[in-house]
Structure formats: structure tokens, C-alpha cells
């Protein structure tokens, strides 16, 4: 029952709602007791031959009235109870979402999208259900159960009540067992379904590969196997699910049986009337739900608890980087001085960066190159303070970058990352994502700089073309150019390009780069790239190797040093030498 305690804050905030809700539930349980009692009295009147038509009208009218009252009260508690859980769902969703927006990339590497989605959907839904059905089953199993049993004892005597109730605890116990089993098997069935889903996903997204490698039959076989598993898992669910009804009717049947037998004896002994027995048998029917609820309760609570724990655990994760000075909005400007005394990713064993330092001058164009995994992207991450380490010291214009607020720091940078991500919105909205208030001219201006304007005009809806599942699919190069345009619109003084040209051909790359460097306020541009051919334009080139800074300086200087840079530059350029000679 700890879930009710753990959600105490919520119940306290809505205590009036839940007080009324419980009150209504109690009233419903009490009113429900009246019609059977009235029916029993009428039966006794018939038996005693003193039935009056007034009594009939009064009773019939009263039963109908009870029905109407219960109808109103039921709607009342449903609105209160389900309204409460909808509110809880909304609060939890908003909390989770807000929390997600605060998490750094590290967090998203540790948690897969699918898992996070499961929290946002299944866990919150389970929580909503627990709060609604948990309260309902808790109150009903206690209040309604007690009320019915009390009425039985009071009207018909404790002896018959004791005899009739024997099967009910067994039923409650069985219900709880079944519920538990059902839940477990249901999860297995869901897993089987998700496996099936993966199988189909692979077959569809890899349809070319499947055909090219003539794997159609293999795919069909795998699918049939998964589908069979799915059938079996669902049969396991059905096997338990189908037990509920027969068990309930058997238990109630036994209770009816024993109370009838015992009642008949009591009546023959003149210890009970026929009317009382009639009332009693109807009350038996009213006991089914509270007993069922009692069995179900533990299961619901357990499920809700598990979900709440998962959510709480997720919400308790602190962002890796704390906004140490949220009020300090000093505008950082000037040279970037980066100095590392070693950096290791939280889950990694080896250092990603060793000890080195360098300075990037304000307004310069810097090329950053080196092998895959040499630490280039890590540099960007540390510049943007996606990780906090004592051993990393970044100063911009002499100011340590962790003394200002995260917003103030990150507003200074525009980043184009390796993998372009676009939102399901129109092209214009995507470009203006970072500055929604930007005018159409501004949007078109950056689109031209990023050499994507003509492509956009080629779509039937132009800038209003929708992207994503509902809209068109762009090529990798188009996506990349859109994200470049998006970053340019931010008008930040420091532009970070993380291999942002890798899907573009060399001509387009060169054109965009020229546009970037020759625009009105070029600011500082840092480009990570594997294609060195454009770096002759750079004011400074930094070469990384195994987490170390291995070469630094102007293009000419590095060429003269004859290191990795010169070697790779020449190899890439060599491929064209012959062309020049031949065509000359």
C-alpha cells in the first residue's frame, strides 16, 4: 500500500476531491443495501397475507428512487476519481517532459528512446489506473464488503452469514493469484508482440537487402516463428483469464447452496423468515464485487508501485551539468582558451582527452581534424559544457565559462551536429526552430547561404512543405543543409560545425563554406571535417590524435611540418593531381 503513501503529496493536494469521492462510494454501498431488504419485507408480507397495494407502490417507487440516487452518486464519484487520476497523469507527464528537456546528451546515450517512451506511456498509464482503480477497489473492498456483511448479520443473523461466507475468502485468494499470474503472462505476451514488431521492422526497412540477398524465405520462417510464439504467449494469458468467471460462479454457487440449505433448516425451526432468506441470497450477489476487488487490489497496487518507482528513479536523475550561476547572464566574447588536464566519459574506461591546451582567436576560421575517435567531437561537447569536469578549463574572453548561466553560454554558440535532426513541421518552421519569430526574409536568406533555397523552391509547397512521416523525405545532403541554415539563423558569434558537410559533394561544400566565411558577421567558425581539401582557407588547423593535440598551426605551417595532416592532405589531393596534369 506504500503507493498511497508515496503519492501522498497528490492526495493531500486534492484531499477535498478524494473525501467526497470516498463519501459517495460509501453512500452507494449503503443505498445498495436497501432494495434487497425491502424485497425481503414484501416477501414476508406475502407470506403473512397482509400485503397492501400501498406498500407495493411505496416499495417499487423506493427501489426506483434508490436506482436513480445510485446513478447520480456513481457519476459523481467517477468524475471525482477519474478526474483526479487524469490530473495526476497530466502532472506526471509534464514533469517527465520537463525533466527530459533538462537532461544532457550523456543521459540520452544511457537511455534508449524506446525505454523512455515506455515510461512516458505505460508507466504513467499504470499510475493513472492505480490511483483510480486502487482507491476504488480499496474503498469498495473494505466499505462495501463490510457493509454487506454487517447487513447480513444484522438482518439474517450471524449463523447463516458465517456458513455462507466460507467460500468467499477462498475466492478472494484465488482472484489475487489469478491476477498475479495474468499480469506476468500478459507481460510475456507483450514482449512477444514487441519481438514480432522488431521482426517486421527489419523486414520492411531492409526490404532491398532481403531481396538482394534472397532472404525472403528465411524472413518468412523467422516471422512464422515469432507469430507462433505470440499465439502461445496469448494462449497462456487466456488460460488464466478464462478461470475468473467459472471460479466466481462456483464460489457464489457454493455459498448460495449452503445458505439455502442452512436457511431452510432455520426457517423450519422458525428462527428465520422466508423474506430474510430472500434478502440474504440477494446480498450474496452484492458480495461478489468487493471480494473480487479485494483480490484485484494487491495486483493493481503492485503494478502501480513498480511504475511509480521507475518514474521516480528517472525523475531523480540530476542533470550531469548543473546550472551553477543561473542568474549571471554576462555576454561571453573574445578568444576561446581551452585547456584540458584529461577527460574521461562517465561510462568509459579510457581517457577521451589527454593534457593539452590551445587558443582560438575571435573571428577566425579553425579546422579541426583527425581520425575517427580522436576526440574532436568531445572538444565541442566540452566547449558547450555538456560535461562538467574540474580538469577542463574553458575561458571565453578570459571569463571561465562555468561562471555564467548555461543559457548565456549556449546562446553564444550555434552547433550543427553530425547527424542532422529535423522536426515534423514545415521547412520554414524547421529553419526558424531556434528563432520562431524570424521573418521570412531572414529564413530565405540563411537558406540561400546554406545552398538549400533552390531545393526548397523545387518542392510543391516550397517553404511550407511538411517534413517527416506525414511529409516529404529529404536526402541526407538536404537535411544537412537545412540544419546549417537553422544554425545560421541563430546568428550566434561562434559557429560549430561537426562534420556538417559529410553528405555533401565537394563543390557544394566549398560554396557553403565560402558563404559562411564571407557573410556579414562571420564570427568564429570551427569546422570538424574528414575532408581536408577546404582547410587551406583556415586561419588555424588543429589535428587531434588519440585524445591529444598532435599538430596545430596554419595550413602552410602544418604542410611544412610533414606530419599526419600533410600526409592525408596530399593523399586526398594526390587523387586529383593526375587529373590536373592530364587535363592541362
Partner 1 sequence: MKTSEKRQHFIRLLRYGLPYRGRILVSFIMLLTGTTATLYAPVLVKEFIDGHVVPGNWEQSALVTLGVTFIAIYIIAGFMSWWEEMMFQRVALSVVHDVRRDVFHHLFLLPMAYFDKEPVGKLVSRITNDTETIRDLFVQALPSTVRGIVTLVGVLIAMSLLDLRLALFCMAILPVIFGGVFLYQRYSHPIFHRSRSVLSDINTRINESIQGMAAIQALGQQKRVNQQFGEVSQEYREVQSKLVLVNGLLLRPMVHLTSALALALVVGGFTGQALTGPVEIGLLYAFINYLDRMFEPLTHITMQMQVWQQSVVSAERVFQLMDEPVDNQYDHNATGSTSTEEVLGGKIEFREVGLSYDGKQQALDDISFTVESGQFVALVGHTGSGKSSIVNLLMRFYPYQKGAVLVDDKPLESFAEEPYRRQVGLIFQEPFVFQGTIAENIHLGHCDISEEAVREAAGHVQASGFIEKLPDGFQEVLGERGQSLSSGEKQLLSFARTLAQNPRILIMDEATANIDSETEQAIKSALFTLRQGRTTLAIAHRLTTIEDADLILVLEKGRIVQRGHHRELLKRNGLYRDMYQAQSKVVKMDSEEQLIVGA
Query: Is the distance from CB of 366 to CB of 558 less than 8 angstroms?
Result: no
Interacting residues of 322 by C-beta distance below 8 A, sequence separation 6+? 388
**Residue 166 engages partner 1 in binding (rule: CB under 8 A):** no
For partner 1, the closer of residues 339 and 411 by Cβ is 411
- Structural contact between residues 291 and 141, judged by C-beta atoms closer than 8 angstroms: yes
Which residue, 329 or 391, is less far from partner 1 as judged by CB? Answer: 329
Give dist(CA 392, CA 342) in Å, integer.
Answer: 7
User: What x/- string results for residues 281 through 300 when contact with partner 1 is judged by CB under 8 A?
Assistant: xx--x---------------
Closest separation between CB of residue 166 and partner 1, Å?
Answer: 14
Give the nearest distance from C-beta 30 to partner 1 in angstroms.
15
Q: In the complex with partner 1, which residue's Cβ is closer, 330 or 339?
A: 330
Q: Which stretch in 302-310, 393-401, 413-421, 516-524 sits in contact with partner 1 by CB under 8 A?
A: 413-421
d(CA 195, CA 188): 11
3-state DSSP assignment of residue 393: strand
What's the min distance (Å) between Cβ of 120 and partner 1? 5
* Shortest distance, position 341 Cβ to partner 1, whole Å: 26
Closer residue to partner 1 in complex, CB, 184/239? 239
Minimum Å distance from CB 531 to partner 1? 7
Shortest Å, Cβ 511 to partner 1: 10
Q: Which is nearer to partner 1, 103 or 360 (CB)?
A: 103
Q: Is residue 63 involved in binding partner 1 (CB under 8 A)? A: yes
Beta bridge partners of 356: 340
> Can you tell me which of 7, 22, 196, 548 binds partner 1, judged by CB under 8 A?
196
Nearer to partner 1, 134 or 263 (CB): 263
Site for partner 1 in 217-236 (CB under 8 A): 218-220, 223-224, 227-228, 230-231, 234-235
The neighbour count for residue 294, using CB atoms within 10 Å, is 22
Q: Is 129 in the site for partner 1 (CB under 8 A)?
A: no
CB 307 within 8 A of CB 127: yes
C-alpha distances (whole Å) from 303 to each of 81, 139, 309 are 19, 18, 10
Q: How far apart are CA 10 and CA 1, in angstroms?
A: 15
Of 1, 48, 60, 317, which one interacts with partner 1 (CB under 8 A)?
A: 60
| DSSP codes joined into one string, 262-274 | HHHHHHHTTSS-H
| Segment near partner 1 (CB under 8 A); pick from 81-89, 140-148, 324-332, 443-451 | 81-89
- State how far the Cα of 77 lies from the Cα of 72, in Å rounded to an integer: 9
Instruction: Give the C-alpha distances (Å, rounded to integers) separating 160 from 45, 259, 341.
Output: 22, 6, 83
Q: Which stretch binds partner 1 (CB under 8 A): 108-116, 155-163, 168-176, 344-352?
A: 108-116
Q: Which of 19, 86, 150, 359 binds partner 1 (CB under 8 A)?
A: 86
Judged by CB under 8 A, which of 2, 47, 324, 439 binds partner 1? 47
DSSP for 520-535, written as a single string: S---EEEEE-S-GGGG
Q: Write out the binding residues for partner 1, residues 535-554 only, by CB under 8 A.
A: 536-537
CB under 8 Å to 3, separation ≥6 — which residues?
130, 134, 301, 304, 305, 308
Interface residue with partner 1 among 8, 67, 326, 462 (CB under 8 A) is: 67
- One residue of 5, 12, 50, 53 binding partner 1 per CB under 8 A: 53
- d(C-alpha 136, C-alpha 416), whole Å: 52
Q: Does 83 participate in binding partner 1 (rule CB under 8 A)? A: yes
By beta-carbon proximity to partner 1, the closer residue of 200 and 399 is: 200
Burial 386-425 (b: 16+ CB within 10 A, else e): bbeeeebbbbbeebebbebbbebbbbbbbbbbeebebeee
What is the radius of gyration, based on Cα positions, of the chain? 36
* Sole binder of partner 1 in the list 306, 539, 559, 561 (CB under 8 A): 559
118 sits near partner 1 (criterion: CB under 8 A): no
Which region among 17-25, 142-150, 498-506, 519-527 touches partner 1 (by CB under 8 A)? Answer: 498-506
| Distance in Å, CB of 536 to partner 1, minimum | 5
Map the footprint of partner 1 across residues 307-366, applying CB under 8 A. Answer: none
200 binds partner 1 (CB under 8 A): yes
Look at residue 537 and give its three-state secondary structure: helix
Residue 399 interacts with partner 1 (CB under 8 A): yes or no? no
User: Based on the number of CB atoms within 10 Å of its own CB, is 473 exposed (0-12), middle (13-18) or buried (19 or more)?
Assistant: exposed
Q: Which residue lies nearer to partner 1 by CB, 390 or 437? A: 437
User: Which residue, 19 or 56, is less far from partner 1 as judged by CB?
Assistant: 56
- Kindly identify the residues of this chain, within the stretch 244-263, that bind partner 1 according to CB under 8 A: 245-247, 249-250, 253-254, 256-257, 260-261, 263
Residues numbered 442-481 forming contacts with partner 1, rule: CB under 8 A: 469, 473, 475
Among 243, 306, 315, 548, binds partner 1 (CB under 8 A): 243
Nearest residue (CB) to partner 1, 2 versus 197: 197
How far from chain centre, in Å, is Cα 335? 41
* CA–CA separation, 277 and 283 (whole Å): 10
Binding test (CB under 8 A) with partner 1, winner from 9, 16, 54, 68: 68
* Residue among 522, 530, 466 nearest 495 (CA): 522
The residue to which cell 537558406 is assigned: 447
Q: Is 121 in the site for partner 1 (CB under 8 A)?
A: yes
Instruction: Check binding of 429 to partner 1 (CB under 8 A).
Output: no
Report the candidate in 498, 320, 491, 324 with the shortest Cα–Cα distance to residue 401: 324
Q: What is the C-alpha to C-alpha distance for residues 509 and 534, in angstroms, rounded to an integer?
A: 8
Alpha carbon distance 339, 337 (integer Å): 7
Nearer to partner 1, 153 or 566 (CB): 566
Element (DSSP H or E) covering residue 40: helix 34-48
Amino acid at each position: 500500500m506504500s503507493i498511497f503513501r508515496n503519492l501522498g503529496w497528490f492526495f493531500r493536494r486534492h484531499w477535498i476531491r478524494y473525501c467526497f469521492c470516498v463519501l459517495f462510494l460509501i453512500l452507494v454501498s449503503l443505498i445498495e443495501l436497501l432494495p434487497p431488504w425491502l424485497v425481503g419485507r414484501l416477501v414476508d408480507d406475502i407470506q403473512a397475507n397482509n400485503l397492501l397495494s400501498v406498500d407495493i407502490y411505496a416499495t417499487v417507487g423506493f427501489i426506483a428512487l434508490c436506482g436513480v440516487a445510485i446513478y447520480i452518486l456513481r457519476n459523481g464519484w467517477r468524475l471525482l476519481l477519474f478526474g483526479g487520476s487524469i490530473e495526476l497523469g497530466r502532472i506526471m507527464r509534464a514533469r517527465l517532459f520537463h525533466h527530459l528537456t533538462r537532461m544532457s546528451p550523456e543521459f540520452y546515450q544511457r537511455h534508449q528512446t524506446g525505454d523512455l517512451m515506455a515510461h512516458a506511456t505505460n508507466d504513467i498509464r499504470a499510475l493513472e489506473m492505480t490511483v483510480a482503480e486502487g482507491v476504488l477497489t480499496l474503498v469498495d473492498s473494505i466499505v462495501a464488503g463490510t457493509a454487506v456483511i454487517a447487513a447480513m448479520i444484522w438482518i439474517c443473523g450471524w449463523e447463516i452469514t458465517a456458513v455462507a461466507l466460507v467460500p468467499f475468502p477462498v475466492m478472494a485468494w484465488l482472484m489475487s493469484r489469478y491476477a498475479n499470474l495474468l499480469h506476468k503472462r500478459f507481460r510475456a505476451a507483450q514482449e512477444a508482440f514487441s519481438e514480432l514488431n522488431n521482426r517486421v521492422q527489419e523486414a520492411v526497412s531492409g526490404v532491398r537487402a532481403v531481396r538482394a540477398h534472397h532472404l525472403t524465405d528465411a524472413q518468412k520462417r523467422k516471422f512464422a516463428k515469432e507469430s507462433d510464439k505470440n499465439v502461445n504467449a496469448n494462449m497462456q494469458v487466456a488460460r488464466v483469464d478464462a478461470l475468473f468467471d467459472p471460479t466466481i460462479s462456483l464460489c457464489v454457487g457454493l455459498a448460495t447452496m449452503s445458505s439455502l440449505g442452512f436457511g431452510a433448516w432455520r426457517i423450519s425451526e422458525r428462527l428465520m423468515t422466508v423474506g430474510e432468506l430472500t434478502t440474504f441470497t440477494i446480498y450474496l450477489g452484492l458480495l461478489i464485487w468487493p471480494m473480487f476487488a479485494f483480490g484485484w487490489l494487491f495486483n493493481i497496487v503492485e503494478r502501480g508501485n513498480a511504475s511509480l518507482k521507475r518514474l521516480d528513479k528517472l525523475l531523480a536523475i540530476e542533470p550531469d551539468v548543473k546550472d551553477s550561476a543561473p542568474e549571471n547572464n554576462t555576454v561571453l566574447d573574445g578568444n576561446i582558451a581551452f585547456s584540458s588536464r584529461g577527460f574521461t566519459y562517465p561510462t568509459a574506461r579510457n581517457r577521451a582527452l589527454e593534457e593539452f591546451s590551445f587558443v582560438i582567436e575571435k573571428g577566425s576560421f579553425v579546422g579541426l581534424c583527425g581520425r575517427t575517435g580522436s576526440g574532436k567531437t568531445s572538444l565541442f561537447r566540452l566547449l558547450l559544457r555538456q560535461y562538467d569536469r574540474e580538469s577542463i578549463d574553458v575561458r571565453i574572453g578570459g571569463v571561465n565559462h562555468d561562471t555564467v548561466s548555461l543559457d548565456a553560454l549556449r546562446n553564444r554558440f550555434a552547433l550543427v551536429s553530425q547527424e542532422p535532426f529535423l522536426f515534423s513541421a514545415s521547412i520554414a518552421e524547421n529553419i526558424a526552430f531556434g528563432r520562431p519569430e524570424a521573418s521570412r526574409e531572414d529564413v530565405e536568406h540563411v537558406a540561400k547561404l546554406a545552398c538549400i533555397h533552390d531545393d526548397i523552391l523545387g518542392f510543391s509547397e516550397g517553404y511550407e512543405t511538411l517534413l517527416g512521416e506525414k511529409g516529404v523525405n529529404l536526402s541526407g545532403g538536404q537535411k544537412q543543409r537545412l540544419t546549417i541554415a537553422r544554425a545560421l539563423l541563430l546568428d550566434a558569434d561562434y559557429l560549430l560545425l561537426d562534420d556538417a558537410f559529410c553528405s555533401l559533394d565537394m563543390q557544394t561544400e566549398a560554396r557553403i563554406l565560402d558563404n559562411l566565411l564571407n557573410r556579414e558577421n562571420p564570427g568564429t567558425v570551427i569546422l570538424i571535417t574528414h575532408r581536408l581539401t577546404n582547410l587551406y582557407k583556415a586561419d588555424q588547423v588543429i589535428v587531434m590524435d588519440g585524445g591529444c593535440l598532435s599538430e596545430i598551426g596554419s595550413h602552410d605551417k602544418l604542410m611544412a611540418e610533414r606530419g599526419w595532416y600533410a600526409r592525408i592532405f596530399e593523399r586526398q589531393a594526390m587523387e586529383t593531381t593526375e587529373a590536373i596534369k592530364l587535363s592541362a
